[in-house]
Amino acid sequence: YLSEVKNAKKLLTKSEKRITELDRLFTRLYEDNVSGKISDSRFEVMSKNYENEQEQLKVKVAELTKFIEDKEQKCSDIHDFIELVKKIKHIDELTPKNLREMIERILVHEPDKSSGHRLQEIEIIFRFNVVKSRIVLDGRDFDRRQKAA
């Protein structure tokens, strides 16, 4: 992730500098048009080109900013997850406190009976965007386990 972020930051800086440079060029272009150094038609063509380039760069800057933020968040999540794993790897008993540190929420979906059997989907959403878990319980297996117990 680090090399991707580093490259994206370089490209972001380059794009932001070009946006600033285009502002300066547009100002000079306007002054040249007012002073009569360039014609109105030439001014229109050049200013339109500068504006188009600047709009494209602004979109690119927004995309790069989001990309960098997402990657940095992912790195932070991985780091925090590793620290939590180090902290809890020697735990002998899983307590509600331990679960709250690891799990953000558990989603229990509506049962699906379309196949003639009850299927129950359960999603475990961890606090860190590193691990995902999805469980589908088949009612037939669950019923057998319940009866055997």
> Domains of the chain: which residue ranges?
2-88, 96-148
Three-state secondary structure string covering the chain: CHHHHHHHHHHHHHHHHHHHHHHHHHHHHHHHHHHCCCCHHHHHHHHHHHHHHHHHHHHHHHHHHHHHHHHHHHHHHHHHHHHHHHHHCCCCCCCHHHHHHHEEEEEECCCECCCCCCEEEEEEEECCCCCEEEEEEEHHHHHHHHHHC
Average model confidence (pLDDT) for the chain? Answer: 84
pLDDT for 1 equals: 65
Residues of the chain with pLDDT under 50: 143-149
Rounded to two decimals, the pTM is: 0.64
- What does the pLDDT look like over 37-70, one tens digit per residue? 999 999 999 999 999 999 999 999 999 999 999 9
pLDDT for 149 equals: 37
